[in-house]
Structure 1
Amino acid sequence: MSEERVDVVVVGAGPVGLVLAAELALTGAKVQVLERRTEPDEAVKAGAINVPTAEALDRRGLLPAAERVQRELAGTLANLAGGARFTGHFAGVVLDGDLVDWADPDLAAHTAVDAARLVPQRELEALLAEHVERLGVPLRRGVEVTSLADTGDSVVVDTTAGPLRASWLVGCDGGHSTVRRLAGIEFPGTAPELTGRLAVADIADPKKLAKGWVWSAGGAYRCGPQPGRLTTVEFDGGPTDRSAPVTLEEVQASLRRVSGTDVTLTALRGTATRWSDNTRQAAAYRSGRVLLAGDAAHVHPPFGGQGLNLGVGDATNLGWKLGAVIAGWAPAGLLDTYDTERRPLGAWVLDWTRAQIGILRGDPQSAALRAVVTALLATPDGATYALKQISGVTHHFPLPGTHPLVGCYAPDVSLADGSRLADHTHTGGFALLDRTPDTAFGRVASAWPTRVTTIADKPGDPGTPTGLLVRPDGVVAWATDTPDARDNADAADAAELASTLHRWAGAPAFEPTH
């Protein structure tokens, strides 16, 4: 291809790159996605998504499609047996759903996506690829980036199919990111000490394997939750060749070593994967006009699909901010908040997965620690705490504001007309819930007519939000509660809303009236 000019080149067509491309397209940016693979990745990876990822799909009208995937797979998922609610595990210690306090406010506020959590990564990628295609974003497969040059006002990207010139380049190309290497961004962290393998296989003698996680001196293995899904962990210093195909013989040998059985595998279904506990975070998520998202910015053990979910969060956070810069309305420093908001959460996930490695080892000390953790997670408080962390409902960003919802992902909000707040966010942009009798908050937001959608609703009960401003990434930027049956919004609330809109949505088309 001859040199082409676009707003953003996204390198990598996994879930992170696809979400980012879609979010950018909704802002009006011209996007080009490049993927080195000639076909979608069929490797066995994450088997579920967390609440923020499911809610990101919901915000863009993709919840019905995700629910359809879960329904189609429900018959093969042991987590759904007997109607049990999806929980997860911490280092192989499965959380007992009967112990969880499902009435906990953090959990109860995010239940609308419960039927869309068990979406495997392959199915998620297919769903997102269709979404990107509907938005008209071109995706070129079989194209590799060979060099890049940041000229200060653009990035020249050389590829195996010819050059591209873009205003911005985002690497969503995985832990061995070519974009990160070419941009010269350091990737500090801790070296691997284990080799993990994940496969779906036909097992000749499945009764030789126990269900769930089993530990031994050589490592650990898991059989399930889907029939034939196998995970093995061996503390052998890490894989010597991550790029070599994972064979049936390799998976069987590993499974025999950690299980202490002579179990026989007869075939692999799909592409098996090899992974490690290599744990690193990029020294910067941005260098000039080059940015990183997903595994290109951070890698860690894949327990609970945390890498997939963390990457999707990166993409939703970066998409609207970079789109605002391209559109010319971004307030000063908006793009800098991508690193400041996402880096601390990335560091937390790295430590959350490191902690699990500490109790997965087969030595006596780790076994003793695992027994303590298992006992703690077998309590209502322990199970509830762990589930809240795993599900992502406690994610919080340090945004200005005193309301407890500010900086959190928006809760489920049902409206008087039978719709939900998320139903009004499919095209991106800011969403403002206005429950004042005189639509006082909507009048303020009308000064940002192309950036804010106001959803008027009947006044709620005392203590519920009478006003809620939600950013395009689902994070609450401003909120106020209904203290009584007042007729008019407090002028101070309206002034604070205007200030918040200036901070996040840039200059208004005209000065708002309070």
Structure 2
Amino acid sequence: MSENRTDVLIAGAGPNGLMLACELALAGISPVVVERLPGPSGEPRANGLVGSVSRVLDMRGLYTEFGGPAEGPKPLPYYIFSGMAFDMTGMDAGPMAALLIPQPELVVKLLARATELGVQVRWSHELTGFTRDDNRVRVELDGPEGPVVIHTRYLIGADGGKSAVRKLADIEFPGSTAEGTVTRFGHTDVPAAWLTPDGGIEIPGAGRFRFGHNRVERGMFVFAELPSGTMMAIQEFDAAATVVDEDAPMTLAELREAAERVLGAEVPLQPPTGPGPHALRRLVGQNTRVARHYRDGRIFLIGDAAHVHSAIGGPGLNLGLQDAVNLGWKLAAHLNGWAPADLLDTYHAERHPVAERTAMHSLAQSGLMLPGPETAGVRALFGELLAYPQVAAHIANLLAGTDRPYDTGDNHPLSGRLVPDFRLGDGRRVAELLRTARPVLLVTDTVADLAAGWPDRIEVITATGAPAPAMLIRPDGYVAWAADTLPAADDPTLRAALTRWFGPANSLVA
């Protein structure tokens, strides 16, 4: 049996685990990632990124590298809530941006970045158990050449909704399961004459449907023309009509039959011809759950290991990748010796409420898809409300995960929120200041010794064009402190913020 040691062991080489590994590596920490699969998963799951995660990736230079435009994320003109479109063009700073990238491609790109940063990924290593004490976690793995033991200071569960780490740590996973629903989805080909110029589809005998989610009286119909091909999904709510053998493989014929039941018309689906990778899956029931604790001593949960919910609206990667970025700089700060004592606890305090909000709105969107005239009435009323700019802005920020600020201990309107997207007077975008994942103190004019006690931790940048004369920006892009006047070097509120988030001045925390 081989035994190894590392500071951080990440279980799961999906997008969230790899993103966390990259964040740690940027800060000088060399994690080990273990994955039970023999290589990167080619299973099509998410079809892209939507929400404030686009801006967070842009801060690391990944948005453009992963296929976005060179000028960075642009707010979407509209989005949908339970299939109901709402306008975002009038918002001063629309929080919803997107990047169409299939999850398998995202994994490959993040793996390449992790490899460049020196991250070690061990494939075909399945976590089978662990024991822990006050100083270490002893992790047992089943590797391709037999049992492996890795001693680690911290274990991260990034191993999905059925997380072995969460289960072995006995962390509660409260929530609900929607019984009696069956969702079938897959890539397919449909007659070209059915495709509409606006990206939707018109099916003879059934009607015209927009891109995305559509409610019909017998279920939900999802249609999307994506780079990977034509995606179609059908959700049925009638348990008696949707009895299936869960062990039987999903077939295109099964998807076609479900589409015809729900749409009430013939739907001659053909095998997909797009570039793929191609999906063909069945989901019986729908779990909506959030882990009771994101931290249990030396164990942390991120992504689907910490929360599961409906995919409606596409919130999964927006939530999980930001978990990774939030935890990454804090865990690295602790391992590098300068983190305040309670910094690691702020991971749960900040990210758990965001997951609860996501669970809430995904349940609400699913509820608004249910059959019956009562639901139709609620949808009609909700559609009227979405026409009000204040309501649309509230929903947009809810979906983006930016509707509730973090508690940073500072009452400036910018504090606790993702830094606004703006250009500095020298032409740089604010995202460019965060490429190396270091904290930034941005001021409009030079102040001698402004962060003199934190030269190893804080980068002071003088530039015009910011929305406030002084802003302290955390590595994850959130504003920790801001001021409407240029501070003095001994400003007590600034020094308090620096100490709260980046440790005592001129000293290392043991």
For the aligned pair, the TM-score class normalised by the smaller chain equals 0.7 to 0.9
Letter paired with 1:466: P
TM-score with structure 2 setting the length: 0.87
Does the 8 A contact of 1:44 with 1:273 survive in 2? no
Is 1:508 equivalent to 2:505 in the alignment?
Answer: yes
Does the 8 A contact of 2:52 with 2:401 survive in 1? yes
Does the 8 A contact of 1:53 with 1:312 survive in 2? yes
Deviation at 1:219, TM superposition (A): 0.8
Question: C-alpha offsets along residues 464-486 of structure 1, whole Å, 9 cap, x if unaligned?
Answer: 3111111111110011124xxxx
Structure 2 counterparts to residues 106-117 of structure 1, below 5 A = 106-107=93-94, 117=99
Look up the match of 2:48.
48
Kindly tell me the number of residue pairs found equivalent between the two proteins.
Answer: 478
Is 1:200 equivalent to 2:182 in the alignment?
Answer: no
Deviation at 1:245, TM superposition (A): 4.8
Look up the match of 1:339.
348
User: Cα–Cα, structure 1 residues 399 and 359, in superposed 2: closer, same or farther, change >3 Å?
Assistant: same
Secondary structure at 1:123's aligned position in 2? Answer: helix
Secondary structure at 1:367's aligned position in 2? Answer: helix
Letter paired with 1:186: E
User: Cα–Cα, structure 1 residues 84 and 448, in superposed 2: closer, same or farther, change >3 Å?
Assistant: closer
Mapped partners of 2:3, 2:494: distance in 1? 44
Question: C-alpha offsets along residues 425-465 of structure 1, whole Å, 9 cap, x if unaligned?
Answer: 111120110112x324xx2223212211111114x58xx31
Gap regions ≥5 residues in structure 2: 195-202
User: Cα–Cα, structure 1 residues 151 and 359, in superposed 2: closer, same or farther, change >3 Å?
Assistant: same
Deviation at 1:168, TM superposition (A): 0.6
Is 1:320 equivalent to 2:320 in the alignment?
Answer: no
Mapped partners of 2:489, 2:460: distance in 1? 19
Look up the match of 1:79.
none
User: Cα–Cα, structure 1 residues 274 and 450, in superposed 2: closer, same or farther, change >3 Å?
Assistant: farther
Greater Cα shift, 139-148 or 248-257: 248-257
User: Cα–Cα, structure 1 residues 433 and 405, in superposed 2: closer, same or farther, change >3 Å?
Assistant: same
Letter paired with 1:345: V
Deviation at 1:24, TM superposition (A): 1.2
Look up the match of 1:211.
209
Letter paired with 1:94: A
Does the 8 A contact of 1:56 with 1:474 survive in 2? yes
Letter paired with 2:88: V
Secondary structure at 1:445's aligned position in 2? Answer: coil
Mapped partners of 1:242, 1:493: distance in 2? 65
Look up the match of 2:406.
397
Question: C-alpha offsets along residues 344-402 of structure 1, whole Å, 9 cap, x if unaligned?
Answer: 11111111111112111112222221222223224444434323322344342122011
Look up the match of 2:231.
229
User: Cα–Cα, structure 1 residues 130 and 244, in superposed 2: closer, same or farther, change >3 Å?
Assistant: farther
Mapped partners of 2:47, 2:297: distance in 1? 35
1:273 to 274, 281, 291: 281
Mapped partners of 1:171, 1:337: distance in 2? 17
Question: C-alpha offsets along residues 195-225 of structure 1, whole Å, 9 cap, x if unaligned?
Answer: 2233221225844463324433321102224
Could you list the structure 1 runs, at least 4 aligned residues long, displaced by more than 4 angstroms after superposition: 236-245
Greater Cα shift, 190-199 or 447-456: 190-199
Is 1:446 equivalent to 2:455 in the alignment?
Answer: no
Which structure: greater helix fraction? 1
Secondary structure at 1:63's aligned position in 2? Answer: helix
Letter paired with 1:450: D
Look up the match of 1:486.
none
Look up the match of 2:103.
121
Does the 8 A contact of 2:312 with 2:366 survive in 1? no
Does the 8 A contact of 2:83 with 2:215 survive in 1? no
Secondary structure at 1:6's aligned position in 2? Answer: strand
Letter paired with 2:452: S
User: Cα–Cα, structure 1 residues 278 and 451, in superposed 2: closer, same or farther, change >3 Å?
Assistant: same
Letter paired with 2:350: E
Does the 8 A contact of 2:447 with 2:489 survive in 1? no
Deviation at 1:242, TM superposition (A): 6.9
Report percent identity of matched pairs. 37
Is 1:36 equivalent to 2:36 in the alignment?
Answer: yes
Structure 2 counterparts to residues 315-464 of structure 1, below 5 A = 315-436=324-445, 438-440=446-448, 443-458=449-464, 464=467
Letter paired with 1:367: A
Gap regions ≥5 residues in structure 1: 72-82, 483-488
Which structure: greater strand fraction? 2
Greater Cα shift, 5-14 or 358-367: 358-367
Mapped partners of 1:480, 1:239: distance in 2? 60
Look up the match of 1:78.
none
Deviation at 1:239, TM superposition (A): 8.8
Mapped partners of 2:500, 2:245: distance in 1? 48
Deviation at 1:106, TM superposition (A): 4.0
Structure 2 counterparts to residues 40-119 of structure 1, below 5 A = 40-66=40-66, 68=67, 85-95=76-86, 99-102=87-90, 104-107=91-94, 117-119=99-101
TM-score with structure 1 setting the length: 0.86
Deviation at 1:69, TM superposition (A): 5.2
User: Cα–Cα, structure 1 residues 251 and 428, in superposed 2: closer, same or farther, change >3 Å?
Assistant: same
Deviation at 1:296, TM superposition (A): 0.6
User: Cα–Cα, structure 1 residues 49 and 241, in superposed 2: closer, same or farther, change >3 Å?
Assistant: farther
Secondary structure at 1:254's aligned position in 2? Answer: helix
User: Cα–Cα, structure 1 residues 241 and 446, in superposed 2: closer, same or farther, change >3 Å?
Assistant: farther
User: Cα–Cα, structure 1 residues 92 and 165, in superposed 2: closer, same or farther, change >3 Å?
Assistant: same
Letter paired with 2:474: R
Greater Cα shift, 272-281 or 235-244: 235-244
User: Cα–Cα, structure 1 residues 245 and 19, in superposed 2: closer, same or farther, change >3 Å?
Assistant: farther
Is 1:170 equivalent to 2:152 in the alignment?
Answer: no
Does the 8 A contact of 1:45 with 1:198 survive in 2? no
Mapped partners of 2:19, 2:43: distance in 1? 19
Secondary structure at 1:427's aligned position in 2? Answer: coil
Look up the match of 1:485.
none
Look up the match of 1:481.
484
Does the 8 A contact of 1:21 with 1:132 survive in 2? yes
